[in-house]
Amino acid sequence: MTGQAPSVRLRGAALRFGGRAVFSDLDLDLPAGRWTCLLGESGIGKTSLLRLIAGLGSADETRGHLSCSDGLPLAGRVAYMGQRDLLLPWTTVLQNVVLGARLRGGRAAARETEGRAAALLRAVGLAGREEDLPGSLSGGMRQRVALARTLFEDCPVVLMDEPFSALDAVTRHRLQALASDLLRGCTVFMVTHDPLEALRLADRIEVLAGLPPQLRPVFEPAGQAPRPLDDPALAQQAGRLMIVLGDGARAA
């Protein structure tokens, strides 16, 4: 991560598709250099919120105020990993990872970064697959390429939408540690469905729940992420988190 990560502040966010409002008047703070996890029922608007922060609009109406602690605009220093893997089908795994460099600096700039990209691919367990097309990868492999691409971006603010959802428990555990390590100091906002994952990685956990959906800050897990999964405190917190999630579901 280059430079000091800012905190991000969203006020009065509202989003509407056709006649259906996803949420209205949400406030969110992403503390500088901390990892925030967002949980919530499927379809409640987590992806929409993430996209809104990333500056991506497909909704029919989008409102809100977004600012960074350093007063500069957020655009241009945020990495985004979508819920779909969004790999370019026509180019190799390696080229997919260096896509950002390529888009910003052209072919030459991308070539210089290929070493770093290859190292990242090794780190996510895809050594030897650099020259394969995405079409020949398994679902989890594709997700790992997308993760490598996001880590490659090296941005102070990182938005990730269920980045580990297609991975087996062991690989997931390992890549959580990797991400936690590489994104240390970044302002991270991650959507996840796995309470344990949130408890392992997050400095702060928010739950989007209710009707209309509201953000409820729930936890600020203690200790340094990544936390070990066999920590008894974590198991206990997981129970409490499940109850909050269950309540949210019942309220909706």
Partner 1 sequence: MKLFRVLVVAAGLLLLWEALVRLTAVPPFILPGPLAVALRFLAQFDLLLHHGWVTAVEILLGLFCGTLMGMASALLIVASRPARAWLMPLLVISQALPVFALAPLLTLWFGYGLASKVVMASLIIYFPVAAAFVDGLRRADPGLIDLARVMGASPLAILLNLRLPGALPALASGLRVAAATAPIGAVVGEWVGSSRGLGYLMLHANARLQVDLMFAALALLALFSLTLYFTLDAALRRLTAWQPESDSVSAAGFSLLPEKGPS
Ligand X SMILES: Nc1ncnc2c1ncn2[C@@H]1O[C@H](COP(=O)(O)OP(=O)(O)OP(=O)(O)O)[C@@H](O)[C@H]1O
Residue 83 lies near its own copies (rule: CB under 8 A): yes
Nearer to ligand X, 6 or 248 (CB): 248
Cα distance between residue 88 and residue 52, in whole Å: 23
Q: Nearest-CA neighbor of 87 among 78, 77, 76, 99?
A: 99
How many residues contact ligand X, by CB under 6 A?
Answer: 19
Other C-beta atoms closer than 10 Å to the C-beta of 215 total 20
Interacting residues with ligand X between 46 and 65 (CB under 6 A): 46-48, 58
Interacting residues with ligand X between 117 and 146 (CB under 6 A): 136-141
Contact status, residue 41 vs residue 249, Cβ threshold 8 Å: yes
Per partner kind, with CB cut-offs from 5 to 8 A, the member of partner 1, Mg ion, its own copies, none near residue 233 is none
Among 135, 230, 232, 250, binds partner 1 (CB under 8 A): 135
Contact status, residue 120 vs residue 93, Cβ threshold 8 Å: no
Residue nearest Mg ion by beta-carbon distance: 47
Least distance CB 80 / its own copies (angstroms): 15
Q: Nearest-CA neighbor of 220 among 236, 243, 202?
A: 202
Per partner kind, with CB cut-offs from 5 to 8 A, the member of ligand X, partner 1, its own copies, none near residue 215 is none
Cα distance between residue 229 and residue 172, in whole Å: 12
Among 23, 32, 38, 47, binds Mg ion (CB under 5 A): 47
Per partner kind, with CB cut-offs from 5 to 8 A, the member of partner 1, ligand X, its own copies, none near residue 195 is its own copies
Q: For the window 162-181, what string marks contact with ligand X as x by the rule CB under 6 A?
A: ----x---------------
Least distance CB 238 / ligand X (angstroms): 19
Least distance CB 48 / its own copies (angstroms): 8
Among 1, 37, 79, 190, binds partner 1 (CB under 8 A): 79
Least distance CB 48 / partner 1 (angstroms): 13
Q: Nearest-CA neighbor of 39 among 172, 165, 152, 132?
A: 165
Nearer to Mg ion, 47 or 150 (CB): 47
Interacting residues with partner 1 (CB under 8 A): 9-13, 51-52, 54-58, 62-67, 73, 75-76, 78-80, 82, 84, 86, 88-91, 99-100, 102-104, 106, 133, 135, 153
